[in-house]
Structure 1
Amino acid sequence: MAEGNTFNAPFPAPPPSYKHFTKQNLSRLRRTRKEAGIPPPADGQPPEKDVDILTLPAELRYLVPPEPPSDSKLTVFGDTVNLDAPRVTLADNSIEQIYPDDPSVLSNPQPHLIALARSMLTTFLSLTGILAQNPDLQQDKMGDLQTIVYNLHDIINQYRPHQARESLILMMEERLEKMKGEIQRIDQSKESVAKLLQELQSNGIVQAMQEEKDGKGDAVVEDAAVTKRKARQRAGWAALENEMG
Structure 2
Amino acid sequence: MAEQPQTQMFSTFPNPPDFLWKEFTPDKIARFDEAKQAWEEQNPDAALSKTVTLIPDLPDDLSCLQPPPEPPNGAWRALAGVWTLKDELPSLEESGIQRLKPTSNGVSVSPPDSNRDRALNLKRLTKSVLLNFLEFVGVASIDPDGTAEKAEDIETILINIHHACNEYRPHQAKEKLIQTMQTRLDQIRNETAAVNAVTDKAKRVLEGLGSIAAAGQERPDLEGRGEGQNGAVDDPMAQEEDQLWNEAVAFV
TM-score range, shorter chain: 0.5 to 0.7
Unpaired segments of 5 or more residues in structure 1? 1-5, 131-136, 212-216, 241-245
Deviations 1:18-37 (A, max 9, x none): 66667665433111234556
Deviation at 1:50, TM superposition (A): 1.5
Q: Percent identity?
A: 13
Match for residue 31 of structure 2? 28
SS in structure 1 opposite 2:77? strand
Given the two structures, how large is their TM-score scaled by the length of structure 1?
0.58
CA separation in 1, counterparts of 2:212 and 2:180?
43
When residues 146 and 34 of structure 1 are mapped into structure 2, their CA distance, relative to the original with a 3 A threshold, is closer
Q: Is the 8 A contact 2:52 2:67 kept in 1?
A: no
**Structure 2 matches for 1:192-231, cutoff 5 A?**
192-204=197-209, 211=215, 225=220
Match for residue 138 of structure 2? 126
CA separation in 2, counterparts of 1:224 and 1:237?
11
Deviations 1:130-184 (A, max 9, x none): 3xxxxxx212223212322223213422552x32211221232023213312331
When residues 152 and 17 of structure 1 are mapped into structure 2, their CA distance, relative to the original with a 3 A threshold, is farther
**Structure 2 matches for 1:29-178, cutoff 5 A?**
29-34=32-37, 38=42, 45=50, 48=53, 50-53=55-58, 55-57=59-61, 60-77=62-79, 79-81=81-83, 87=91, 89=93, 92=96, 97=98, 99=100, 101-103=102-104, 107=118, 108-127=120-139, 129-130=141-142, 137-160=143-166, 162-178=167-183
When residues 207 and 63 of structure 1 are mapped into structure 2, their CA distance, relative to the original with a 3 A threshold, is farther
When residues 85 and 194 of structure 1 are mapped into structure 2, their CA distance, relative to the original with a 3 A threshold, is closer
When residues 87 and 62 of structure 1 are mapped into structure 2, their CA distance, relative to the original with a 3 A threshold, is farther
Deviation at 1:63, TM superposition (A): 2.9
Unpaired segments of 5 or more residues in structure 2? 1-10, 105-112, 222-240
Given the two structures, how large is their TM-score scaled by the length of structure 2?
0.57
Q: Alpha carbon RMSD of aligned pairs, Å?
A: 4.8
CA separation in 2, counterparts of 1:174 and 1:25?
49
The aligned amino acid for 1:126 is G
SS in structure 2 opposite 1:189? helix
SS in structure 2 opposite 1:75? strand
- The structure that has the greater radius of gyration is 2
Deviation at 1:70, TM superposition (A): 2.2
When residues 203 and 43 of structure 1 are mapped into structure 2, their CA distance, relative to the original with a 3 A threshold, is farther
The aligned amino acid for 1:64 is Q
Match for residue 226 of structure 2? none
Q: Would you say how many aligned residue pairs link Structure 1 and Structure 2?
A: 207
Match for residue 243 of structure 1? none
SS in structure 2 opposite 1:203? helix
Match for residue 134 of structure 1? none
When residues 106 and 28 of structure 1 are mapped into structure 2, their CA distance, relative to the original with a 3 A threshold, is farther
